[in-house]
């Protein structure tokens, strides 16, 4: 008697199907493994922390005081009344001063005595070193040489009395020598002050000191008052502490 096999008990009947399914599953897992991407979690955490700190900042609330708008302008209405012109205005005739061809020109001979000559006084300036009579500083007397020496002495006393170092120049450590030029005019007053120096602060202070000079007796050349130019250096120097 021959034995018959049950077709359901045959293990290898679907082996090709199982092989194909297994192969596809392996290919799918291999593809997913190759295409899978990873990210650094540390950088993401830092960004999140920084964003949280920025969002948690307290922003101060500022109040802006806006002035109220100006009130509307009031429209002023003015009634216009028409007044009849009753008064008669006389027209004035203006004679022409132009000379025509028919006008007769009076011939007149002008003599020398009728011509007025106006003398124009020139502003003469004589240097301090060669003037015949130097400007006389208040309190100075004597000869021309004595007046010159007294003038320089009184000038030094004036500088020491009114000298004041500018605070801004002292803080900025600005030093230097300022040369001041001025004129003692024929009335004895100081005018036309000019100066040059290393800084505007020092120049301004030097001009202020010279402008405080008192009125003097003007210098004379041939017994006539004249302007006398004079220049003096003022040294601005800070003392070392």
162 CB-contact burial (10 Å; exposed 0-12 / middle 13-18 / buried 19+):
middle
- Say yes or no to pLDDT of 45 above 60: no
E strand or H helix at 183: strand 176-184
Per-residue pLDDT tens for 133-166?
A: 999 999 888 888 899 899 999 999 999 999 998 9
Per-residue pLDDT tens for 64-81?
A: 677 777 777 665 555 555
The residue with greater pLDDT, 127 or 8, is 127
Whole-prediction pTM value?
0.48
The structural architecture, per CATH, of the domain 144-236 is 2-Layer Sandwich (3.30)
- Say yes or no to pLDDT of 44 above 60: no
Query: What pLDDT, on a 0 to 100 scale, did the predictor assign at position 14?
Result: 73
In degrees and rounded to multiples of 5, residue 157 shows phi and psi of: -65, -40
Query: What pLDDT, on a 0 to 100 scale, did the predictor assign at position 226?
Result: 92
Ranges of each domain in the chain: 144-236
In degrees and rounded to multiples of 5, residue 97 shows phi and psi of: -100, 5
The helix/strand/coil state of 160 is: helix
193 touches 240 (CB < 8 A): no
């Amino acid at each position: 008697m021959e034995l018959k096999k049950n077709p359901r008990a045959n293990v290898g009947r679907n082996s090709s199907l199982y092989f194909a399914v297994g192969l596809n599953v392996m290919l799918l897992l291999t593809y997913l493994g190759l295409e899978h991407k990873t990210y650094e979690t540390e950088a993401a955490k830092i960004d999140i922390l920084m964003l949280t700190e920025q969002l948690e900042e307290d922003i101060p609330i500022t109040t802006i005081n806006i002035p109220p708008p100006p009130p509307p302008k009031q429209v002023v209405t003015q009634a216009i009344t028409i007044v009849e012109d009753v008064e008669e205005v006389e027209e004035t005739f203006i004679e022409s001063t132009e000379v025509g061809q028919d006008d007769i020109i009076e011939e007149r001979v002008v003599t020398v005595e009728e011509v007025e000559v106006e003398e124009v006084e020139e502003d003469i300036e004589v240097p301090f070193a060669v003037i015949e009579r130097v400007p006389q500083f208040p309190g100075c007397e004597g000869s021309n040489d004595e007046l010159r020496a007294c003038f320089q002495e009184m000038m030094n006393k004036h500088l020491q009395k009114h000298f004041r170092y500018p605070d801004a120049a002292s803080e900025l450590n600005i030093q230097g020598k300022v040369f001041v030029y001025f004129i003692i005019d024929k009335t004895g007053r100081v005018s036309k002050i000019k100066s040059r120096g290393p800084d505007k602060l020092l120049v301004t202070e030097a001009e202020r000191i010279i402008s405080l000079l008192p009125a003097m007796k003007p210098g004379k050349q041939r017994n006539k008052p004249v302007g006398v130019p004079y220049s003096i250096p003022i040294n601005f120097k800070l003392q070392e502490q």
